[in-house]
């Protein structure tokens, strides 16, 4: 019996170069201090991946981590994290996905897998309870993610096997290749699929039959039942039913356009006049054929979509999510939803992030319009805004690294560098990661979220939603010390640094448990008190019953991810935004005329975190107060610690 409840109790370490597999007990002190998921992976990466390691070298390590909630009754419980040094950004890489792969890994008996080295030939890791072995994957290399999953199930004679794999994009080291599990679920961002590809690791296949037990079973189950009740009959029941459960994330197309932050024309604008053609009701009416869910979820926001007519008829995939629809409609000025459906399908089977691939195409279209690239550069392709055919062609060229696609496969930061002529003006990225579907000009706090996100221009480390969607009740309840009107004012920078810091620590706990951010931010059901109670009842770690201690846990993990980047050379200059958000006023919509004033928000954020205003480095007390004294010592030796 493992020391703490909820955990499987073991982990797998694979040296791909030596073909060595070791199974060991999950270190109790590691889960005590970092819980699981991305938190635990942060500590492993800090301890084991030295700053001089190159992302696509055998020395880099890749971690697949579940959390204590995974596979249990607390909703939702189907997610896992993939963490590595990112080949897209060169710093902290982290991606998450739902589905059923993660619980299966827990039932097989493992909390996480850490892989290092590089296999001589393509392999896949096969796990069935105590049996853990590397198998030849030569026959799978080159196959798309769907076919790969089919073949692995077929050759093992077991349709219940859960597979996480890469497609051709990962094999071709497309810098934003992703990991796809359960056919359609993408651990999408920061190029985790390329890390797998660089290691000749095609897939992880898993079947498990073991038990999971909470530390305080009766109370935990009662608490979980209560969580279901809060989704089904509580104050948010109707909201969930009419938004996420009915439209999935695509409902955000309409609501984001309504507040003027639906990225349009490569993030030039935040308002898309043709929203009616690409809105959530249109998607539901024209494409939806089935309702789906991740494992153990009480929200159930997943859908199966199918193109019903035309030359791509019968194209079917799960999704598309809001981010994909945004990336392949408004942000490239395309109002034909079938293009987004097809792009979603292609990205899933090739194993490629829809956000970064769509953003790369938007970047190329703007460069083409501005004359920075011509038909000579693109080998005859005319990159006109909204051209669906060219867009879909580019998706495949990127995944295969063919022609001009080879350049876009590097991500927009590198592509802009190679194009030159000031192309970085149109490369809407921060710290190497292409911007996702937000715009700080019409939602100020997300400007800060992007600037300080450890993985680059991305919302999922600290997106604040009480201001975004105007949850005034929650604003009052959570931040009674601040003026609720200002907290909820999308266009006002005041207090947003405090909100973002709070949300960042909260999300760090989500990503360690692991629970989905739906139910935490949208709608805002779970908060600190819930996680404090959850961790205590599930794991039996009594100290976390104290809300302050759970907050300290969240802060510890948030700090550590940043310190990983600081050790790689990150400093204050990295906490910045693309000039499109800070210098170019929003052209239209509710955010018209707005730019992001980062400084006041950043000041608040630094104040909470204890970072030095000039350097962005931490003070010793900031790190020591969350139990990261050893991290402070290492940074001190590098001269990246300031005095208190």
Distance linking the first and last C-alpha atoms of the chain: 44
Burial group, residue 290, by CB count within 10 angstroms (0-12, 13-18, 19+): exposed
Contact between 250 and another protein per CB under 8 A: no
Q: If residue 65 lies in a helix (H) or strand (E), which one and from where to where? A: strand 62-65
CA separation for the pair 592, 599 (Å, rounded):
21
Task: Draw the binding track, 83-112, toward another protein (x: CB under 8 A; -: no contact).
Answer: -----------------x--x---x-----
Which of 18, 25, 120, 217 touches another protein by CB under 8 A? 217
Number of residues binding to another protein, judged by CB under 8 A: 40
Q: Which of 28, 58, 142, 210 binds another protein (CB under 8 A)?
A: 210
Among 298, 361, 427, 487, binds another protein (CB under 8 A): 298
Which CB sits closer to another protein, 8 or 586? 8
In angstroms, the CA 553 to CA 77 distance is 20
**What does the H/E/C string look like for 258-277?**
HCCCCCECCCCECCCCCHHH
Of 22, 51, 54, 225, which lies in the binding site for another protein, with binding defined by CB under 8 A? 225
290 binds another protein (CB under 8 A): yes
* Helices within 370-424 (DSSP H only): 388-400, 405-408, 412-419
Tell me if 148 contacts another protein by CB under 8 A: no
Q: Please identify, among the stretches 66-74, 89-97, 262-270, 624-632, the one whose residues bind another protein according to the rule CB under 8 A.
A: 66-74
What would you report as the CA-atom Rg of the chain, rounded to the nearest whole angstrom? Answer: 23
Other Cβ atoms less than 10 A from the Cβ of 246: the count is 16
Position of tokens 């969580």?
227
Structure tokens at 87: 């080949």
Torsional class of 407: left (φ above 0), alpha (ψ -120 to 50), beta (otherwise): alpha
Nearer to another protein by Cβ, of 232 and 585: the residue is 232
Exposed / middle / buried, residue 18 (Cβ in 10 Å: 0-12, 13-18, 19+): exposed
Binding of residue 297 to another protein (CB under 8 A): yes
If binding is defined by CB under 8 A, does position 383 make contact with another protein?
Answer: no
Stretch that binds another protein, among 39-47, 52-60, 289-297, 420-428 (CB under 8 A): 289-297
Residues 69 and 76: their CA atoms lie apart, in Å, by 8
Q: Is 232 in the site for another protein (CB under 8 A)?
A: yes
CB of 302 to another protein, least distance (A): 7
Asked if 226 interacts with another protein (CB under 8 A), we say no
| Residue 387 interacts with another protein (CB under 8 A): yes or no | no
Tell me which residues in 163-202 interact with another protein (CB under 8 A): 182-184
73 touching another protein, by CB under 8 A: yes
Query: Considering the complex, what minimum distance in angstroms separates the CB of residue 279 from another protein?
Result: 23
Q: Is 228 in the site for another protein (CB under 8 A)?
A: yes
Nearest to residue 617, comparing CAs of 570, 582, 579, 577? 570
User: Least distance from C-beta 291 to another protein, angstroms?
Assistant: 5
Specify the residue, 100 or 332, whose C-beta has the smaller distance to another protein: 100
348 binds another protein (CB under 8 A): no
CB of 294 to another protein, least distance (A): 7
Buried b (16+ CB within 10 A) or exposed e, 23-33: eeebeeebbeb
Whether 184 and 319 have beta carbons less than 8 Å apart is answered as: yes
Say whether residue 588 binds another protein (CB under 8 A).
no
CA angle 17, 22, 26 (to 5 degrees): 130
Residues that bind another protein (CB under 8 A): 71-73, 75, 77, 100, 103, 107, 146, 149-150, 182-184, 209-213, 217, 221, 225, 228, 231-232, 289-298, 300, 302, 304, 316, 318
């Amino acid at each position: 019996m493992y020391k703490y409840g909820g955990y499987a109790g073991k982990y797998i370490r694979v040296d791909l170069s030596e073909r060595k597999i070791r199974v060991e007990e999950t270190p109790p002190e590691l889960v005590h201090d970092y819980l699981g998921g991305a938190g635990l992976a942060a500590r492993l990466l800090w301890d084991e991946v030295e700053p001089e390691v190159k992302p696509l070298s055998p020395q880099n390590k890749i971690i697949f981590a579940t959390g204590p909630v995974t596979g249990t009754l607390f909703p939702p419980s189907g997610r896992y994290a993939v963490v590595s040094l990112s080949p897209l950004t060169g710093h902290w890489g982290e991606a998450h996905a739902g589905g059923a792969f993660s619980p299966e890994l827990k039932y097989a008996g493992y909390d996480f897998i850490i892989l290092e080295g590089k296999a001589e030939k393509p392999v896949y890791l096969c796990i069935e309870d105590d049996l853990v072995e590397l198998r030849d994957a030569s026959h799978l290399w080159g196959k798309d993610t769907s076919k790969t999953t089919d073949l692995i199930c077929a050759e093992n004679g077991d349709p219940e096997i859960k597979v996480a794999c890469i497609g051709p994009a990962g094999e071709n080291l497309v810098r934003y290749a992703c990991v796809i599990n359960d056919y359609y679920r993408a651990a999408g961002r920061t190029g985790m699929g390329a890390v797998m590809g660089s290691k000749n690791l095609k897939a992880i296949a898993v079947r498990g039959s073991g038990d999971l037990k909470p530390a305080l079973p009766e109370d935990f189950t009662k608490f979980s039942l209560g969580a279901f009740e809060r989704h089904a009959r509580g104050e948010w029941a109707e909201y969930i039913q009419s938004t996420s459960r009915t439209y999935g994330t695509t409902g955000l197309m309409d609501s984001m356009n309504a507040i003027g932050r639906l990225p349009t024309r490569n993030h030039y604008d935040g308002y898309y006049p043709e929203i009616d053609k690409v809105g959530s009701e249109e998607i539901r009416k024209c494409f939806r054929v089935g309702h789906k869910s991740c494992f153990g979820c009480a929200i159930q926001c997943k859908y199966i979509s199918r193109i019903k007519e035309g030359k791509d008829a019968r194209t079917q995939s799960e999704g598309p999510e809001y981010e994909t629809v945004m990336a392949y409609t408004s942000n490239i000025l395309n109002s034909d939803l079938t293009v987004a459906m097809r792009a979603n399908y292609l990205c899933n089977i090739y194993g490629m992030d829809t956000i970064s691939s769509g953003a790369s195409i938007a970047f190329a279209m703007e460069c083409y319009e501005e004359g920075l690239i011509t038909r000579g550069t693109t080998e005859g392709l005319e990159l006109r805004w909204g051209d669906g055919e060219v867009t879909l062609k580019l998706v495949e060229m990127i995944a295969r690294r063919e022609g001009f696609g080879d350049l876009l496969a590097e991500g927009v930061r590198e592509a802009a560098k190679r194009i030159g002529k000031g192309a970085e003006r149109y490369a809407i990225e921060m710290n190497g990661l292409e911007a996702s579907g937000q715009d700080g000009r019409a939602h100020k706090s997300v400007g800060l979220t992007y600037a300080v996100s450890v993985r680059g221009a991305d919302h999922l480390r600290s997106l604040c939603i009480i201001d975004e969607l105007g949850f005034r009740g929650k604003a009052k309840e959570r931040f009674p010390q601040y003026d609720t009107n200002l907290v909820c004012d999308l266009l006002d920078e005041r207090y947003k640094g405090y909100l973002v810091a709070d949300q960042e620590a909260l999300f760090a706990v989500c990503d360690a448990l692991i629970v989905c951010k739906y139910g935490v931010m949208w709608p805002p059901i779970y908060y600190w008190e819930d996680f404090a109670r959850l961790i205590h009842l599930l794991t039996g770690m009594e100290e976390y019953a104290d809300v302050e201690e759970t907050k300290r846990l969240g802060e510890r993990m948030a700090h550590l991810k940043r310190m990983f980047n600081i050790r790689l050379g990150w400093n204050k200059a990295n906490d910045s935004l693309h000039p499109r958000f800070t210098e170019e006023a929003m052209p239209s919509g509710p955010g018209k005329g707005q730019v992001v004033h980062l400084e006041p928000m950043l000041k608040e954020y630094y104040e909470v975190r204890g970072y030095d205003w000039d350097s962005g480095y931490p003070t010793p007390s900031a790190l020591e107060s969350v139990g990261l004294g050893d991290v402070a010592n290492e940074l001190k030796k590098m001269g990246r610690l300031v005095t208190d």
